């Protein structure tokens, strides 16, 4: 799979809840590999960004599967960890607003409030349950991706905050988005 296989709004599949994986089959393992390939393909096409994670729904597979890059600070590291049926078992810390982007919401960024710490349980690619505690940016990644498995995208959290939206300019800097013009030009995105 490539970056071109990543679906984007207004594709209605992004608004559907994904189904739990009952058994980790060869098909599920193949989907994980495809998710990783699509993320790397997207990543290599961007100068100023790193693809840090992807949910299966983003390649139009309605399964509760998320892949997270092992070292999201190193664009050359193409290894991931799969989280099958990921679930946040506890939100901790405080709500903090910070920038988020999404491979399925092209060129739009937002300052989204998320908890600073979460506990997550999931199955690995062999079907074994494991748990992680994530803080900071990794906690944000989990909340963002698990939202995808529930039919939510980051703009849903900030829809009513017109000052929370940004675009990346040609130099890689975030610039405030003209919210009203954006809505008028992309009504299907904001529906």
pLDDT of residue 190: 55
Question: How many helices (H) and strands (E) in the chain?
Answer: 5, 7
137: which residues sit within 8 A by CB, 6+ positions away?
72, 98
Helical ranges in 118-186 per DSSP H: 137-149, 155-158, 179-185
Of 9, 8, 18, 120, nearest in space to 68 by CA:
120
Question: What is the distance between the alpha carbons of residues 78 and 115, in angstroms, rounded to a whole number?
Answer: 27
**Catalytic annotation on 129?**
no
Largest Cα–Cα separation, the chain: 48
Domains of the chain: 3-190 (3.90.45.10)
> What does 154-179 look like in DSSP terms, one character per residue?
THHHHTT-GGGEEEE-TTS-EEE--H
pLDDT of residue 113: 96
- The CA radius of gyration of the chain, in Å to the nearest whole number, is 16
pLDDT of residue 183: 59
pLDDT of residue 115: 98
The answer to whether the bond into 40 is cis (omega within 30° of 0) is no
Q: Which two three-digit tokens encode residue 42?
A: 């997207």
Annotated active-site residue in 34, 36, 100, 145 = 145
36: which residues sit within 8 A by CB, 6+ positions away?
54, 67, 78, 80
pLDDT (tens, 9 = 90+) of the chain, 191 residues, equals 999 999 999 899 999 999 999 999 999 999 999 999 999 999 898 877 889 999 999 999 999 999 999 998 888 999 999 999 999 999 999 999 998 999 998 888 889 999 999 999 999 999 999 999 999 999 999 999 999 999 999 988 887 777 777 776 766 777 776 655 665 665 555 55
pLDDT of residue 107: 80
Task: Provide the residue count of the chain.
Answer: 191
pLDDT of residue 133: 98
Instruction: Work out the number of other CB atoms within 10 angstroms of the CB of residue 23.
Output: 8
Q: Which two three-digit tokens encode residue 113?
A: 């409030």
């Amino acid at each position: 799979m490539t970056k071109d296989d990543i679906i984007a709004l207004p594709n209605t599949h992004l608004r559907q809840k994904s189904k739990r994986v009952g058994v980790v089959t060869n098909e599920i393992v193949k989907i994980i590999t495809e998710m990783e390939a699509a993320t790397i393909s997207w990543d290599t096409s961007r100068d100023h960004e790193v693809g840090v994670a992807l949910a299966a729904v983003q390649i139009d597979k309605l399964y509760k599967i998320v892949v997270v890059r092992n070292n999201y600070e190193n664009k050359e590291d193409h290894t991931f960890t799969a989280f099958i049926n990921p679930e946040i078992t506890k939100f901790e810390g405080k709500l903090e607003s910070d920038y988020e982007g999404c491979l399925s919401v092209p060129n739009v960024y937002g300052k989204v409030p998320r908890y600073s710490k979460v506990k997550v349980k999931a199955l690995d690619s062999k079907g074994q349950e494991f748990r992680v505690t994530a803080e900071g940016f990794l906690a944000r990644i989990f909340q963002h991706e698990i939202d995808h498995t529930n039919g939510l995208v980051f703009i849903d959290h900030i829809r009513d905050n017109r000052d929370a939206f940004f675009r990346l300019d040609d130099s890689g800097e975030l610039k405030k988005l003209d919210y009203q013009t954006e809505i008028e030009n992309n009504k299907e995105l904001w529906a």
